[in-house]
Structures are given as structure tokens and as C-alpha cells.
A and B are shown apart, each in its own frame.
Chain A
Amino acid sequence: MKIAVCVKQVPAKDAPLHIAPDGTWIRETDISFEMNEPDSYALEEALRLKEKHGGEVVAVSLGPERAKQTLKEALAKGADRGLHIADEEFYRLDPLTAARALARALEPERCDLVLTGLQSEDHGFGQTGVLLAELLGLPHATIIMSIEVQNETLRLKRELEAGWFQWLELPLPAVLTIQSGINKVRYATLKGIMAAKKKEIRTLLRTELLPSFELTQKLERIYVPQKTKKTEFLQGPPKEVAAKLLEKLKHEARVLGSS
């Protein structure tokens, strides 16, 4: 089975974030980056499927030069080769454009399965995997909690709301977006890290794969939510105050259901 995993490099979770002067992205100079956590579960799932069914795992990352580090990490954990779609201005892309670039790079690979994380921890659009499936003309399923492969068919468990699950079957090839926590992610081993040095990372340029594009979505402004504190005194006889309070909790603070 040939499996591609899309891994994105995102700002490290502990990074104190500051907004860039133009107000549409964060300042990247003070922070370090790491593999998007949901993608690390997708990678783990790909490695397990390969261990069970044989084949190849190709790690794909769209991003600036530094994204190669994330590919190296994937190789150290056991991916067989890496595809880097280089784009220094990557953060400007909307999910559709990112998916287009990924699709162009993945088309010639003719994979049996493409895995992505459920969403990225920076933009959090949660659309790239789904759009990618559409562009590749493949069926997809989201929020995957388990994968079984039985002769050319996928048996999948999806997470729904409120503790419900859905079981479904999909034919291969397909695109799946993986829910965090589906597995326990492995550690890179010393031998894996050494072996990774000999593995190939091929670089494709986004400008060549997708020379022109029109953004369908634009980030106007990002900002830190304003923390507001408001104190209000309710006056009157206790009964009245209690009624007012209940009203406020329901309709203004919305901490109580209004039914």
C-alpha cells in the first residue's frame, strides 16, 4: 500500500505569539516550529498501516524551507521519503490553494491512501484534507478514530458529537482526516534518526506546481480576543434581584440554558 501523509509545520504550542505589524499573521522570528499535532497522529497511523500491510509512506509538507525539519522528523520515525513543496509565503495561502498545490504534487504519486490531520493548530480551517480529496477525485471521510483495511476496502470509525461514533466503509484509494488521540505516537529512535539521513527529500516549488492562483479567502486581521471584565450591581428586593440575575445569566452571560 502506498500512503501519503500530509504534515504541516506550525508554531510550537508553547510559543508566546505576537502579531506581525501588518496584522494578518504572527511574527515568526521569535518562535520555533513543530509538526502539527493532529498530523503526527496521521503519520503514526500511516506507519502502522505500512507495518501491517507493507508498502511505502511518503511524507508531504507544503511550507517554507524550515518545513523540511518536519519532514526529517517524519523520516526519522519511519516514513520512506519526503516531498517538500517549497513556498516561503505559505502562510498567505487559503486552504483551497494549499490543497491545489498538494494535489498537483500528489497526482503523479498515485497513492492508495492519503492521510491528513483533522485540522492544523495554527489556522485551524480543517478543510485542506477534504478539498484535497475533491481535487484528487477521491472519496473521503473525516474525524477518523480507527482504520482497518480489508481487501481494497477501508472500514472506518468516525467520531460524531456527544460520544457517538459512526462506522463506514470506503473503497480505496481514499483521503482520510485523522482525529488526534487515535493512537499513541511513537518516539523517534536513534537508528531511525540515523537512517533518515540517507532518505530522500525531494523539493518541488509551489510556484512551478501552481504558478498562479486566486485566493478565495483572505485573512483580514488577526487579533487577541479582548478580555473584558464587567461588574454590575443588581438592586432591589431579593426576589426581584434573583429574577434579574437569572435573566442575565441566561441571556447575557449565557451560562445557563434559556429553556
Chain B
Amino acid sequence: MKPVERERLDADVLIVGAGPAGLACALRLAQLIETNRDAAAAAGLSAENIYVLEKAREVGAHQLSGAILDPRALRELLPEFEQTAVAGVSDTPVSEDAVYFLTERRAWKFPVTPPPLRNHGHYVVSLNRLAKWLAERVEQAGINLFTQFAGAELIWNHTGIAGVLTEDKGLDKNGRPKPNYTPGYELRARVTVLAEGPRGSLTKTLVQRYGLDGVNPQVYGLGIKELWEVPAGRIRPGFVAHTMGWPLGTRLYGGGWIYGLQQNRVSLGLVVALEYPDPQFDPHAAFQKFKTHPFVRRLLEGGRLVRYGAKTLPYGGWYSMPRPYVDGGLIIGDSASLLNAQRLKGIHIGMKSGMLAAETIFEALCAGDTSAKALSVFQKKIEQSWIREELWPVRNFHQAFHGGLWSGLLHSALQMLTGGRGLRDPWRTRPGHEAYHRLDGQRSPTARFKGDGRLTFDRLTDVYHSGTRHEEDQPCHLIVADLNLCGTRCTIEYGNPCEYFCPAAVYEMTKERGERRLKINASNCVHCKTCDIMDPYEIITWVPPEGGGGPNYEGM
């Protein structure tokens, strides 16, 4: 085959992903160029030569979060935001915190809210809105922000990376060019920053190729969220509740959240660690069940679903942090495991990591040295910043819940007393899919959750409310290395977990002439990447589809 002719563009800095981490990195770079004009001019740096790529149709469309914002990083980045722009950033300040333990019928309120879940001085936000607000500032600063373009492949140089190829557009489902075929660009940059969020598709190849894994492999949680509008008077704006226990019980790690927003809106959801033993566990159904608890039902009844979505988050913390630098490249935000699992917060840490990356890059470019050695300063900056102060004491937090909720709470109390060390340090983990128990043909497919259509929904109804859309005629972006395994070995050994873990009903086992075959409804994909994480044989690879495809998380 003839090699594709690609147009080439050269940037100073290329940031892949316009989440809070990537946008904060871009904005901080623009600030540094602006305040150090002479140095920037001498090094030939300009804001126009900084590119940000985002695969979503517009910035924020793939942003889904709780979300409670700890404004620490945003205050450092844009000190005036609380005076001038709270309305653009925040829905409402947190007014009241509570933690509940749920049994099937009852809700027990913790007499005191544990300190890590206290949110006084924080804001309830829509990350979708926050990202849009930041993006406006990034564009005003002259940076080139390209939505509907994904980083599809890394451009390698012998010891690091030199940029990315963007995805080819206009290929049909067999990979043949359509009349509007547009080959991807060859985007080269002096420094490429991977800010892809959890389980980044480029980050994954980079970490694998150079063996950048930290002490532990990364482990993940899957968050399923719905945004509701409820009858007036049900919930105060700024009311923040977290729940433990039912429906997950005390063996599975995870919990629910309920946040009161302005205009009778409620953000609610359930996060489940992707390391559960039952391969037919269905996180979406668990969330639907959560809503039937009297405590939640009372709140929602008579209201209506506005949006739905699902996204993963990295739970591994400090010990799962990959080495975040290579020649010509940095990894920031969730992609670099920079999230506090104890506080369920990553926005502020992601942003701070982006700002530190920007400072590292600016110095490196001014010195004309973007080698791994020069960029390793980034790690030092993290270690000297409040990121380490926040993450180091909780380095064993998530691992402590390995034996369930009660022993987890004990261990984490012990860790709190010992500066995070606890009884085991470092506490090792395994990749989540290794937690599956084999079924060995002992179970047939379980009945699927249907929902009542008012309070609870099946997955297709929910996917409709995620605004997900893809060009239908394009190559499948969920690459299964061995389709023969699905209907044979996987059916027997694990009962096809893909049919259960996917919160968007992408994977479906069908019968064709008596043979079980996997059907992939790729157009439903909400880009959560659970399949890439939780398939038991690690044969599913998530790659970005044609830019612009995916969910539309307006207001999430």
C-alpha cells in the first residue's frame, strides 16, 4: 500500500486533551510567555505555536465529573476568578456536607463528616462548564485549540516522542477512503504533553513502550452519573452527600454521591472500583438500584432525567504514578494518576500538574533542551509542591479497602496516624481484571435490568440521554484482538463480562447459525474506557474514533 501523504505542522508545545489538566497547562504557558516576553522571544516561543487537541465535538463535551471543586489550583492560575467569574465556574458553593451509610431500607448519617469528605470552601461545579470557561481563556490568549481532532498515534523518536498523528477522517467501515477522506496530520512538537484523562490511549502505549509504570499498576473506578431536575424544595443548592454501603455492600469499593445544584438540579451517581470479583456484575444496574433507595427515591420522584454519562477515574494514587517524563514528552492529570482517591478529587491536582508541566516546559524551551533529563524537573516540581503533600499521606488509601469497607476504614485510620504508612507500605495491587473469579460454565447469562422508565432506566435509554453520536460509517474504534475467543473461552470462563461492565450497551453477544459471536455497537460508546480496563484477557483496545464522535456531556 502506498504510504499516506500527511500534512505536517510544527508546534512548540502540543497538548493532547482539553480537560482541566491540559487547559491549565496551556493557560499557564500563555501566562509565562506573556510575562517573560524577552525570554520567550529569544527562544522563539509564541502562544500561536501551542496547540491543544481535543477529540470531542466541543470542549467539555467529554467532561464528566461529580463535581466538587477544590479551588486551590484555580486560585493560583487565575487569582481573580472568585471575584470576577464564580458564576462562570461554579454552580454553587458547598453549604452542607453529610456522609451516609445505606442499608437496603435505611440511611444512617455519620455523626461527623470524616475530614477528607469535608468540603467547606469548595464549589459544586459542572466540569463541562468549567472546561468551556477555561477554554475561552485559552483561546483568548492566542493558543490554537482544535476540537474534533484526536491524537491517534505517537510519533516516536529513538528515546521519546516527537508529536502525534491525528486520526484519519473519512474512512468507511472497512477502512477505505470515502470522497471526503482527509488523512491525519503529522503534528510535531518540541514537547508533547499527554493530558488524556484516565486510561489515555496514547499514554498507554507510551507507558508500555518505555516501561514507565510506577510501583503499582493503575487501578480504576467507573463513575456513572445522572443529572436530574426535581420538583422545587427537594434539595438545597450546595447540599453534598456521599454514601457507602448498599447497593454495593461492604465488599465492593465505591459509593454514591448526591449534590444539590441551582435551579432544582441534582447531580447524582455511583462510583465502583473496577476490581470486583463477579464478572457479571453490572455497574449500571447497581446505579439504577441506588436510585430506588428510599433516601434517593424521595428526592427524585416526580423529577426528570436531564443527562446521563459514565467515565472512569484512576484510583491508584501516588504508587501508580508512571514516570511522567520522556524525551520530548510529559504526562499530566489523570493520565499520570494525579487524583486523590480518598477525597474523590482530581480536578485541582490535574490543573496543578498542568501548571507545573507548563513551568517545566517553559524553562526547557528557553534553555533549548527538551530531553528527558531536562523534563525530569517536572517530577521534582511535583514532589516539592502541595500535590505530594496531598497524595503522599494517602498513598495506600485505596489499597487498604482490598478486604472490604470495615477493614478499609480501620486501615485508613491507622494510615492517618502514621502519615500514610499503615501496616503495609507500599501496599501492592494487581490490575483490576485479575480480580475476576472464573465462572467455568457455572452460570448462564443473567437477566438484564429494565427500569421503570421514570426513576430507573435501561442502558439504551440512558445512552440516549448522553447525547452520544458517532459517524456510523467508520472503522470500529474498539479493537478486539481475537474475536474467536469471545463466544468460546470467554463465554465459559467468564460469562462475557463485556456485556455487563459496559455502561453504554456497546457489547452484545449474538447467536449466528448456532454460534455465539460478539457484536460491537461502537456508536453507543461514551468513551469511558472500561472495556480497555476490564476485559479479562486484555484483548480490547480502545482507540479514538473519528474526531467529534462520542458523548455530549452538556452541563455534566
**A→B interface (CB under 8 Å):** 12-16, 18, 29-32, 34, 184-191, 193-194
Taking the closest CB of chain A, its distance from the CB of B130, in whole angstroms, is: 16
- The 8 A CB mask of B456-492 against A (1 = contact, 0 = none) is 0000000011011100000000000000000000000
Contact B467 A193 (CB under 8 A): no
Which A residues touch B555, using CB under 8 A? 29-30
Given the contacts A14-B468, A16-B464, A30-B307, A184 and B179 also touching, CB distance less than 8 Å: yes
A12 partner, pick from B179, B307, B465, B467, beta carbons under 8 A: B467
A212 to chain B, nearest CB (A): 34
- Chain B residues with Cβ under 8 A from A13's Cβ? 469
Could you tell me the distance between the alpha carbons of A194 and B7 in the complex, rounded to whole angstroms? 14
The CA-CA distance from A12 to B467 in the complex, in Å, is 9
* A185–B554 touching, CB < 8 Å: no
Question: Which of chain B's residues have a CB closer than 8 A to the CB of A18?
Answer: 304, 306
Q: How many residues from B make CB contacts under 8 Å with A? A: 30
Measured CA separation A29–B263 after assembly (Å):
11
Interface string of B512-556 (1 = CB under 8 A from A): 000000000000000000000000000000000000000010110
Say yes or no for B494: interface residue by CB 8 A criterion.
no
Task: State how many angstroms separate the Cβ of B465 from the closest Cβ of chain A.
Answer: 5
B interface with A by C-beta (< 8 Å)? 7, 9, 48, 57-58, 61, 144, 146, 148-149, 166, 169-170, 178-180, 182, 185, 187, 304, 306-307, 464-465, 467-469, 552, 554-555
- Tell whether, in the assembled complex, residue B170 and residue A187 are in contact, meaning their CB atoms are under 8 Å apart: yes
Collect the chain A residues with CB atoms within 8 Å of residue B554's CB: 15, 30-32
- Tell me if B146 and A193 are in contact (CB < 8 A): yes
The one of B57, B182, B467, B469 in contact with A189, judged by C-beta atoms closer than 8 angstroms, is: B182
Chain B proximity of A33: nearest CB distance (Å): 10
Across the two chains, which residue of chain B brings its CB closest to A186? B180
Looking at B7, B185, B468, B554, the one whose CB has the most chain A CB atoms below 10 A away is B554
Among the listed B57, B61, B146, B304, which residue makes an inter-chain contact with A190, where contact means beta carbons less than 8 Å apart? B146
Contacts of A12 in B (CB 8 A): 467, 552
**B180 & A184 in contact (Cβ 8 Å cutoff):** yes
Contact present for B185 and A16 (CB under 8 Å): no
Contacts of B166 in A (CB 8 A): 190
Additional A-B contact list (18), CB under 8 Å, known A29-B555, A186-B182, A189-B182:
A13-B469, A14-B552, A15-B554, A16-B464, A16-B467, A18-B304, A18-B306, A30-B307, A30-B554, A31-B554, A32-B58, A32-B552, A184-B180, A186-B180, A187-B169, A187-B182, A190-B9, A194-B144
| Cβ–Cβ contact B148 & A14, under 8 A | no
- Please, which residue of chain A has its CB at the minimum distance from the CB of B179? A184
Nearest residue, chain A, Cβ from B182: A187
| Cβ–Cβ contact A190 & B58, under 8 A | no
Query: Which residue of B is nearest A69, CB measured?
Result: B58
A sample of 6 cross-chain residue pairs with beta-carbon separation below 8 angstroms, ordered by A number, consists of A14-B469, A14-B552, A18-B304, A187-B170, A190-B166, A193-B144
A186: B residues at CB distance < 8 A? 180, 182
Distance A31 CA – B227 CA, assembled complex (angstroms): 13
Contact A15 B185 (CB under 8 A): no
Instruction: Tell me the minimal C-beta distance from B386 to chain A in angstroms.
Output: 35
In angstroms, Cα B552 to Cα A31, docked, is 9
Q: What residue of chain B has the Cβ atom nearest to residue A29's Cβ?
A: B555
B61 touches A32 (CB 8 A): yes
Contact of A30 with B146 in the complex, beta carbons under 8 Å: no
The interface residues of chain A lying within 8 Å CB-to-CB of B464 are 16
What is the minimal beta-carbon distance from B486 to any residue of chain A, in angstroms?
Answer: 29
Q: Complex: how many Å from CA A18 to CA B465? A: 12
Q: Are A16 and B148 in contact (CB under 8 A)?
A: no
Q: Using Cβ atoms and an 8 Å threshold, which residues of chain A touch B48?
A: 194
Q: By CB atoms of chain B within 10 A, which of A14, A31, A193 has the most?
A: A14
Q: A32-B58, A194-B144 are in contact. Are A16 and B182 (CB under 8 A)?
A: no
Is B304 in contact with A15, judged by CB distance below 8 angstroms? Answer: no
Q: Which residues of A contact B182 (CB under 8 A)?
A: 186-187, 189
- A191 smallest CB distance to B (angstroms): 8
Of B148, B179, B307, B467, most A-chain CB atoms within 10 Å: B467
B148 near A188 with CB under 8 A, answer yes
Residue from the list B144, B178, B307 in contact with A16, Cβ < 8 A:
B307
For residue B533, give the distance in angstroms from its CB to the closest CB of chain A.
26
User: Do the beta carbons of B467 and A190 come within 8 Å of each other?
Assistant: no
Query: Could you say which of A14, A29, A185 contacts B467, with CB atoms under 8 Å apart?
Result: A14
Q: Cβ of A189: which chain B residues have Cβ within 8 Å of it?
A: 7, 182
Q: Which 6 A-B pairs have the closest CB atoms?
A: A14-B467, A184-B179, A184-B180, A14-B469, A187-B169, A187-B182
Least Cβ–Cβ distance between B131 and chain A, in angstroms: 13
Closest to B51 in A: A190
Known: A187-B180, A190-B185, A193-B144. A30 touches B306 (CB 8 A): yes
Minimal Cβ-Cβ distance residue in B for A31 = B554
Chain A residues with Cβ under 8 A from B552's Cβ?
A: 12, 14-15, 32
